Amino acid sequence: MKPSNRKVVKRAPHRTVRVINQPHTLTAPVECESELERDFVRRATLFPWTKAVIHQPFVFELASQRRYTTDYLVELVSGQKIVVEVKHSHKVEEYRDTFDQAKCQAVEAGMTFLVSTEKQLQTGGINERVSMLMRYNKACFDGAKSAATVEAVDNCPQGIALAALREMTGVSLPHVLHLVARRRLVLPPPFNLAGDTLIHSIHKFLEGDHAIFFAQWIDAKPW
């Protein structure tokens, strides 16, 4: 396993360059070369304990002198690291041997290896809801109102329904979505905005294995 010098985006005329920049939640901008990768990065960014998402971080040396550059490395605040391959589901079987070898090397290095497809990232319009949430990351709202809303949710260990939270605090829906996008509150997948959807305190996710939580967050089982 070696560091990768490969750029994720080749600036050819037919290719759209996508850079996701979320300075309030990630340590650096993240590049994507497809809509599917974009949807993964957005979803990973909303996970409460994601520290960094690094594109094409290293190369796996495989059998028969083959090389494989992984799509993403997700670093969690817990120190755990997760290698993620983003692939359309109809191509997964074609790469099974590659993923098997990459998974073994990742595990030897103390990392989890996941494969994420459109079935997890785009089914049921979940990617559109994630995109909508992300738009509120850079918004500005009253700081005192934000603190009071976060405190109200902190006082509800089992979570509080979105409608009840708004009634209790008088906070607007865009304000709640801003706090979710900033990861001060948690709206779990599938990110529905019905009135009875539970909003959780960030403290609910302090305990436990964050790598397992992340796999559940993107609905991907370890390879």
Query: Tens of pLDDT along 118-156?
Result: 999 999 999 999 999 999 999 999 999 999 999 999 999
Q: Give pLDDT, residue 13.
A: 47
Query: Which CATH code fits 2-128+209-217?
Result: 3.40.1350.10
Q: Grade residue 109 by pLDDT with cuts at 50, 70 and 90.
A: very high
Of 63, 31, 36, 93, nearest to 223 (Cα)?
Answer: 93
Q: What values do phi and psi take at 195, rounded to 5?
A: -60, -30
Q: Across residues 5-18, what is the average pLDDT?
A: 53
Q: Which helix (H) or strand (E) holds 126?
A: helix 126-134
Query: Which DSSP category does 29 fall into?
Result: -
Q: Across residues 176-193, what is the average pLDDT?
A: 97
Domain layout of the chain by residue ranges: 2-128+209-217, 136-205
**Ramachandran bin of 100, using left for φ above 0, alpha for ψ from -120 to 50, beta for the remaining angles:** alpha
CA–CA separation, 161 vs 140, rounded Å?
A: 23
Topology match between the domains 2-128+209-217 and 136-205? no
> For residue 5, is pLDDT > 60?
no
- Rounded to two decimals, what is the model's pTM? 0.91
118 by DSSP, 3-state: which?
Answer: helix
Q: State in words which class domain 136-205 has.
A: mainly alpha
pLDDT one-digit tens code per residue, 62-108: 988 889 999 999 999 999 999 999 999 999 999 999 999 999 999 99
Say if residue 176 is exposed, middle or buried (CB neighbours under 10 Å; 0-12, 13-18, 19+).
Answer: buried
